[in-house]
A and B are shown apart, each in its own frame.
Chain A
Amino acid sequence: MSIVDKQLRILFIDDDKATNFLNKHIAKKNASVSSTVLVDSAFEAIDYLEKKIVNPEDRPDIIFLDINMPAMNGWEFLDVFYKIDSGLIKDIEIVILSSSDDPSDINQFKSRNTLLDFVKKPLDSKLFNDVLLKVCS
């Protein structure tokens, strides 16, 4: 099932292994996804990005970011992320993928206009496809 021409690289950041597994399963089924990377924490994500971001071929196109994570949450991750050379990250889309409907989180999302979308968990094929369409439009 491919509705987008592009071949996209996806990075999922979620501390829950089951969720990551599900997300990968959904992403793999989509034809527009060329590769899927899973990391268990924001720290790991930063490590990964520091290594891969220099090479445009390894650079992810979309990052699905969970908010409620131990030690460093999604918002803290973003603070670090935006300190990276803006030339390197300017094409990376960030999608919040969270079960949170805490108004403070929603307000936080609204106040950051660099974020692409806020997707309520659980992710399913339809939601995922919607996000890809949004990215390509």
Chain B
Amino acid sequence: MDGVIRMLNNYFKYLIDDMRLAIVAFKNTAIWFPKYVGLLLCMFLFTVISYGQDVKNDKVTSVDEQRAVMVLNLTEEVKWSKISQITTFKIGVMGPDTIKNSLSKISKNRRIFEKLIQVDRINKLEDIKNYNVVYVNSTYEYLLKSILEESKGLEVLIITEGYPTNSSMINMVQVDDSYKYDINRKYIREAKLKITPILAGHAVTSKEIKESLYKKTEQKLYIATRENKEQKKIIESQIKTIGNQINAINEKDEVIYIKDYSLKTLALDSELKAKQLAENLNLERELEKRLDEQINQIIDQQNEIDSVNNEILNHKRTLEIQTSNIKEKTAILEEKNIIIDTQRKHNIILSILSGLLFIACLSLLFAYIKNKKLNTRLNVQHKEIKKQSVLLTSKNKELEQFAYIASHDLQEPLNTVSSFIDVLNEDYYSQFDGDGQQILGFIKEGSVRMKKLIDALLQYSRLGRSKVFEDVNCMPLLDVLTADLQSTIKDSEAEISYKDLPIIKGNEVELRLLFQNLITNGIKFRDPNVKPRINIECTEISEGEDANNGAEKYWKFSVTDNGIGIATEYQDRVFAIFQRLHSRLEYEGSGIGLAHCKKIVESHSGKIWFTSEKGMGTTFCFSLPMSA
């Protein structure tokens, strides 16, 4: 018998795969139930009777759905004291999602104690207390002890699966394709739950019983398998008929389904509409009240809004004023912007200019620094030069002073000597013999020459002292000079010619001495057989031409004679003081004449030189600046 049922069960599984949709849709509807085929009914009856643990016969399909039905069925056999206070019956699942899904799917169309079923997954132990039933699967190896501890005295039914016997309130065990369960009364009592006698009666109380039951079933299964094989053939033939009938049923089912669906929707619609109407009425009343309140509020708000509007208006006016102000200011700003723009341009130009200025200043500064350095160096040099020139001047003065004092002081004893010689000559001449008288003559001569030398030296030292230059007209100067030299000129039968001589700047006395010296030299140094001819000329020359000063103009005088001439090698010597080129017997003189000339010309910022050819004559030239 077991074997047949099992076979039928298996067969039903195949069948259900095909019919799944239809069955799920109608499984809770009682109306269609009797219409189902007798075979199906038969099969279910067998299952329920032989395995009384399937408390309510339900169309269990897969293992998960079977489990779900089992859980629900078990639940219905437990009594909760506070069940009347609950609106929804809550089932918590601690295990794989598939279990939870199938449980919620089955629960959708079922009621427990006429209450809706809510299925959740439980992740935290603390949530257990919120549920009426907690299903615990051993897959995740939850610690039952803590779960039971958590549910103590809370009227929470703990249903476990796969745990050892008696480890929870109700422990399910899958044996082959069906479920068995055992009950731990102690835990149930602790949870203040009660179980129906039916539940208690079908429970497997111990492991041994369960095992023996299992063995018995096994044996029966073996016999049934044999019978099954025989019957299989019969069934197979019947299957065919069933298949045909199923087809017919399917067709009828579809029609029924359609009709039923329309009926159902219609009924639901009317019911819903009535409910909705009632609810709507209530809602409208409430709405009305709320509307009244809201109207009052709106009126208040309107008042507020009015006052706010007034404020806004005021604000608007001030805003308008401010806007106009802003416009004015914008206009001013634009004007200012234009001004600023021009100023900016000015600034740019200014900055460029100032940059240029800065560079110019820098270069000026550098130039200045350079100049300053140069200047300081120049100043130092200048000071040195000044110092030296001061020194030189003082030395020169000293020298001149020396020459003057020396010659002056020499004069005194010479004067004495000379005077006493005169006394001797006048008063005692007759008392000397011939030699003595001759000696007196030599002494006199020597003293006279010495006097002349000293006089010349004195005169030389005095030359150039006077720096006051005046206009000197050379023509009358020479006229006077030739008149003074008349006796000399007459004696030598000299010819002196001059014409067109200029007016020059200088010291008249010195210039006269200059001409006098040159003329007397020309007369003195002559061939005794030749009448001296002396020509004086003057031309204009430019000298010292350079970029800075331009040419300075000079008068160039030349005094030409037809005398004995001077060898060129004596060029320098002839102008030196006390230099003589000839014996005193040939040409007398102190040898100071040309030195005088040189000193006079140089003190007039000029130059003196000569050109000469031996025996042909000499030309003495001197230059004097036009602007002294």
B419 within 8 A of A: yes
- CB contacts (< 8 Å) of A100 on chain B: these are 408
- Residue pair B423, A22 in contact (C-beta under 8 Å): yes
List the B side residues contacting A2 at CB < 8 Å: none
Which residue from B411, B422, B426 sits with its C-beta under 8 Å from A99? B411
Task: Say yes or no: B419 contacts A122, CB within 8 Å.
Answer: yes
> Which chain A residues lie closer than 8 Å to B422 at the CB level?
124
Residues of chain B in range 383-427 having any CB-CB distance to chain A below 8 Å: 408, 411-412, 415-416, 418-420, 422-423, 426
Give the contacts of B419-476 with A (CB-CB under 8 A).
Answer: 419-420, 422-423, 426, 458
- Check B420–A121 contact: CB distance below 8 A: no
State how many residues of chain A have any CB contact under 8 Å with chain B: 14
Listed residue (B408, B412, B420, B426) with the most chain A CB atoms within 10 angstroms of its CB: B412
- Interface flag for A32 (CB, 8 Å): no
Q: Is the CB of A99 within 8 A of B423?
A: no
Evaluate contact between B416 and A19: CB separation under 8 angstroms: yes
Which of chain A's residues have a CB closer than 8 A to the CB of B420? 18, 22
Q: Would A122 and B418 count as touching, CB distance under 8 A?
A: yes
* CA gap between A18 and B412 in the complex, in Å: 10
Q: Is A44 an interface residue (CB 8 A)?
A: no
Picked from B408, B415, B426, B458, the residue with its CB within 8 Å of the CB of A122 is B415
What residues of chain B lie closer than 8 Å to A50, measured between beta carbons?
none
Secondary structure of the B contact surface, majority rule: helix
Q: How far apart sit A123 and B458, CA to CA, in the bound complex (Å)?
A: 20
Structural contact, B415 and A99, CB atoms closer than 8 A = yes
Q: Are B423 and A121 in contact (CB under 8 A)?
A: no
Q: How far is the CA of A101 from the CA of B422 in the complex (A)?
A: 23
In angstroms, Cα B419 to Cα A123, docked, is 8
Output the nearest chain B residue to A17 by Cβ-Cβ distance.
Answer: B416
Q: Which residues of B contact A125 (CB under 8 A)?
A: 426
User: Scoring A residues 89 to 118 as 1 if CB is less than 8 Å from chain B, else 0, what string do you get?
Assistant: 000000000011110000000000000000
How would residues 610 to 628 of chain B score, 1 for a CB under 8 Å from any chain A CB and 0 otherwise?
Answer: 0000000000000000000
Q: Is the CB of A99 within 8 A of B408?
A: yes
Chain A positions within 8 Å of B416 at CB level: 16, 18-19, 22, 122
Interchain nearest-CB distance for A103 vs B (Å): 9
A51 within 8 A of B: no
Query: Which B residue sits closest to A123, measured CB to CB?
Result: B419
User: How long is the Cα–Cα vector from A99 to B420 in the complex, in angstroms?
Assistant: 16
Contact A121 B415 (CB under 8 A): yes
Distance (whole angstroms) from the CB of A102 to the closest CB of chain B: 8
Q: How far is the CB of B426 from chain A (nearest CB, A)?
A: 8
Distance in angstroms between the alpha carbons of A125 and B422 in the assembled complex: 10
Q: Mark A112-137, 1 if CB is under 8 A from B, else 0.
A: 00000000011111000000000000
Chain A residues with Cβ under 8 A from B419's Cβ? 22, 122-124
State in angstroms the CA–CA spacing of A18 and B418 once bound together: 12
Which residues, 4 to 58 on A, are CB-close (under 8 Å) to B?
16, 18-19, 22, 25
Instruction: Report chain B residues within 8 Å CB of A123.
Output: 419
How far, in whole Å, are A19 and B412 apart by their CA atoms in the complex? Answer: 9
CB-CB < 8 A to A18: which residues of B? Answer: 416, 420
What is the bound-complex CA distance between A121 and B418, given in angstroms?
11
Complex Cα distance A137/B508, Å? 36
Minimum Cβ distance to chain B for residue A65 (Å): 16
Complex Cα spacing A44 to B421, Å: 29
Q: A90 to chain B: closest CB distance in Å?
A: 33
Inter-chain contacts of A25 with B (CB < 8 A): 423
CB distance from A12 to the nearest CB of B (A): 14
> Would you give the shortest CB distance from B413 to chain A, in whole angstroms?
8
With the chains together, A102 CA to B411 CA distance in Å?
A: 13
* Bound complex: CA A100 to CA B458 (Å): 11
Q: Give the residue name and chain of the A residue nearest to B419 (CB).
A: A122
CA distance A19 to B415 in the complex (A): 9
Question: Nearest Cβ distance between residue B161 and chain A, in whole angstroms?
Answer: 158
* B465 shortest CB reach to chain A, Å: 9
Name the CB-closest residue of A to B423. Answer: A25
Residue numbers in A under 8 Å from B411 (CB-CB):
99
Residue among B419, B422, B426 with max Cβ neighbours from chain A (10 Å): B419
Instruction: Fill in one digit per residue for A64-106: 1 if any B CB lies within 8 Å of its CB, else 0.
Output: 0000000000000000000000000000000000011110000
Residues of A contacting B458 with CB < 8 Å? 101
A1 CB, nearest partner CB in chain B, Å: 12
A125 to B425, CA, bound (A): 13
Nearest B residue to A121 via CB reads B415
User: Within 8 Å CB of B415, what residues of A?
Assistant: 19, 99, 121-122
- The CA of A100 and the CA of B429, in the complex, are separated in Å by 31
User: How far does the Cβ of A67 sit from chain B's closest Cβ, in whole Å?
Assistant: 12
Q: Which residues of B contact A102 (CB under 8 A)?
A: 408
Enumerate chain A residues within 8 angstroms of B418, measured Cβ to Cβ: 122
With a 10 A CB-CB cut-off, give which of A101, A122, A123, A124 has the most chain B CB atoms: A122
In the complex, A37→B418 CA distance in Å? 23
* Chain B residues within 8 Å of A99, by CB: 408, 411-412, 415
Closest to B413 in A: A18
Q: How far is the CA of A100 from the CA of B411 in the complex (A)?
A: 10
- Min C-beta distance of A73 to chain B, whole Å: 15
CA distance A10 to B412 in the complex (A): 22
Q: In the bound complex, how far is the Cα of B411 from the Cα of A19, in angstroms?
A: 12
Which A residues are in CB contact (< 8 Å) with B408?
99-100, 102
A16: chain B residues within 8 A (beta carbon): 412, 416
Per the bound structure, the CA–CA distance linking A120 and B458 in Å amounts to 15
Cα distance, A18 to B413, chains bound together (Å): 9
**Residue of chain A at shortest CB distance from B405:** A102
Q: When chains A and B are docked, how far (Å) is the Cα of A22 from the Cα of B417?
A: 10
Q: With CB as the reference atom, state the residue of chain A lying closest to B420.
A: A22
A102 to B426, CA, bound (A): 31
* A124 proximity list for chain B (CB < 8 A): 419, 422
Q: Which residues of A are found within 8 Å of B426, using beta-carbon distances?
A: 125
| Distance in Å: Cβ of B87 to nearest Cβ of chain A | 155
Q: How far is the CB of B464 from chain A (nearest CB, A)?
A: 14
In the bound complex, CA of A101 to CA of B458 (Å): 10
The distance from the CB of A114 to the nearest CB of chain B, in whole angstroms, is 26
Nearest-neighbour CB distance to chain B for A131, whole angstroms, equals: 16
List the 8 closest pairs (A to B, CB-CB), nearest first: A122-B419, A122-B415, A18-B416, A22-B419, A99-B411, A121-B415, A99-B412, A25-B423
Q: List 29 A-B contacts (CB under 8 A).
A: A16-B412, A16-B416, A18-B416, A18-B420, A19-B412, A19-B415, A19-B416, A22-B416, A22-B419, A22-B420, A22-B423, A25-B423, A99-B408, A99-B411, A99-B412, A99-B415, A100-B408, A101-B458, A102-B408, A121-B412, A121-B415, A122-B415, A122-B416, A122-B418, A122-B419, A123-B419, A124-B419, A124-B422, A125-B426
11 new A-B contacts, CB < 8 A, other than A122-B415, A122-B418, are A18-B416, A19-B415, A19-B416, A22-B416, A22-B419, A22-B420, A25-B423, A99-B411, A100-B408, A121-B415, A122-B419
